[in-house]
Amino acid sequence: MSQGTPRIDFRANAQRVPPGMPSAVQRATAKFLENRAALVDALGPEAWQALRQAGHEIRLHAITYLDHYLEQAERAVIAAGGQVHWATDAAAACEIVLEIARRHGAKRVVKSKSMATEEIGLNHALEAAGIRVVETDLGEYIVQLKGVGPAHIVVPAFHLSTAEIAALFREKLGVEAPPEPERLTEIARAKLREEFLAADLGISGGNFLVAETGTIVTVTNEGNGRMCTTIPPVHVAVVGIDKVVPDWESLSVLLKLLARSATGQKLSCYTQFISGPPRRPEETGPREVHLVLVDNGRSQILRSPETRKTLLCIRCGACLNICPVYNSVGGYTYGYPISGPTGVLFATQILGTSAARGLPFASTLCGACNDICPVKIPITEILLHLRHRVVEGDAVAQSVAPFPLGLAAKAGAASLGTTWLYRLGAWALRLLQVPFVRDGWMAHLPPPLHRWTMARPFPAFAADFRRWWRRRAGR
């Protein structure tokens, strides 16, 4: 976890959300949720809950015995003719990929969508080394042309209209581009075909890694993933160590959960299984397959009993789709490639609380994410622990809350837990509020409470609750 990482200011980012963003996000997420709900209904609530429970247990088992399954996966990948590399952090992972690229004299790279490569900043590292990188997932291709990151972990450009994409294609590709989805897809396909054929290296992520056979599994709805992993002479898969699953039976459960939760499909269009390079001369495919296993803070997450269930995540994006905060501010506000509730969990732990101290508070704690998560991650419970880590510190990190905030939190806890202090505070507040109250509301308050009244009035503090209750009982 890097101490030099710039701080993410969620509050300031939220104030810069373009006016059209929330409605565009809400339209898209509503569609995903509708499709998902129809499939869950078709399966039946009991069967769905049983599937979720099975998914939870499989993922929990996998991360509990992570060392065992990772070593098993490593042996199986090597036995299948692949090469395995271990990266402790983002810089090490980028260096491994760069070294492979250098060894092959690679100048052009095609990439399929991968949150792990976004997390480690691989594109920047490759470009800094003079290597041209082209994203080939349509959504990623669009956001790359726009010069921004993904706005959603499953559908990176879903907030952009066809008119905006057409204008972008005209500007960046210099082509006639009408605002018609089919035509825009044709333009992208024609451009990307050239890239696939010219690429020296293909890079992918991995949705899962099956330990028993060392199989890298990628799940997509576009054929670009297969092009990236089969046409260039060398394939590099960058995969987080948390993606390992014990066997094919476990995988079948998780695939059912992933497609239904992500896009409301029974199965995604392309589920690809990669078990090493071709073994016979008549087989086609890359001559070399490299698996880069990235830790980048995951071992630290695993060590913390309060937060380790973060690693159960299968990156389906359902918690983003249901989250009222994500739906109001969109993905960029989180300042991290993985956004929404799961992004908050990962960013706060991978970047550290110094950089991401505001993120655990970017939640209403409504619990909708807990209910929708296909692997039953207790997201709000982990968020609460991360808030505790920010304010009071824990075994992983020291408190990073500004001194007045920590003091206010301690004073609040003491006064709520001590009867006489609570009564004294209630009495003092009623007196202090008098200059600000008009008709039972306070329209303007001094700092730091002015942040609340900038957006909405604050109700006047009511009479002492006990006194109010006694009066009510008397009536």
Decide: 332 and 13 in contact? Cβ < 8 Å.
yes
Phi/psi at 86 (5° precision): -110, 130
Whichever of 234 and 262 has its CB closer to ligand SF4, that residue is 262
CB of 388 to ligand SF4, least distance (A): 20
Q: How far is the CB of 261 from ligand SF4 (least distance, A)?
A: 6
Q: Residues 435 to 454: which contact ligand SF4 by CB under 6 A?
A: none
Stretch of residues binding ligand SF4 (CB under 6 A), selected from 32-40, 105-113, 222-230, 316-324: 316-324
The structure tokens listed for 296 are: 């980048």
Return the number of the residue (229 or 296) whose C-beta is nearest ligand SF4: 296
Between 276 and 374, whose beta carbon lies closer to ligand SF4?
374
For residue 122, give every residue at least 6 positions away whose Cβ sits within 8 Å of its Cβ, in sequence order, or none. Answer: 93, 94, 97, 111, 133, 203, 238
CB of 147 to ligand SF4, least distance (A): 26
| Site string (252-291) toward ligand SF4, x via CB under 6 A | ---------x------------------------------
CA distance 433 to 152: 43
Site residues for ligand SF4, 2-21, by CB under 6 A, read none
The smaller minimum CB distance to ligand SF4, of residues 55 and 277, is found at 55
Least distance from C-beta 258 to ligand SF4, angstroms? 8
Q: Which stretch binds ligand SF4 (CB under 6 A): 126-134, 203-211, 280-288, 311-319?
A: 311-319
State how far the Cα of 317 lies from the Cα of 308, in Å rounded to an integer.
Answer: 19
Q: In this complex, which beta carbon is closest to ligand SF4, that of residue 202 or of residue 317?
A: 317
CB of residue 432 to ligand SF4, shortest distance in Å: 42
Stretch that binds ligand SF4, among 41-49, 192-200, 308-316, 402-410 (CB under 6 A): 308-316
**According to CB under 6 A, which one of 51, 160, 319, 329 is a site residue for ligand SF4?**
319
Which is nearer to ligand SF4, 253 or 314 (by Cβ)?
314
Distance CA 10, CA 286 (A): 42
Q: How far is the CB of 363 from ligand SF4 (least distance, A)?
A: 13
Size of interface with ligand SF4, in residues (CB under 6 A): 16
* Minimum separation from the CB atom of position 373 to ligand SF4 (A): 3
Q: Which of 139, 225, 317, 330 binds ligand SF4 (CB under 6 A)?
A: 317
At closest approach, how far in Å is the CB of 361 from ligand SF4?
A: 18
- Residue 313 found at the interface with ligand SF4 (CB under 6 A): yes
The reply on whether position 29 binds ligand SF4 by CB under 6 A is: no
Do 338 and 205 contact (CB within 8 A), yes or no?
A: no
Q: Does 143 bind ligand SF4 (CB under 6 A)?
A: no
- Binding string, 341-380, against ligand SF4, x = CB under 6 A? xx-----------------------------xxxx-x-x-
Minimum distance of ligand SF4 from residue 372's CB (angstroms): 6
117 vs 137: CA distance, rounded Å = 13
| Residue ranges in 376-435 that form contacts with ligand SF4 under rule CB under 6 A | 377, 379
Judged by beta carbon, residue 143 or residue 319, the one nearer ligand SF4 is 319
CB of 349 to ligand SF4, least distance (A): 13
CB of residue 129 to ligand SF4, shortest distance in Å = 32
Radius of gyration of the chain (CA): 25
- What residue ranges bind ligand SF4 (CB under 6 A)? 261, 313-319, 341-342, 372-375, 377, 379
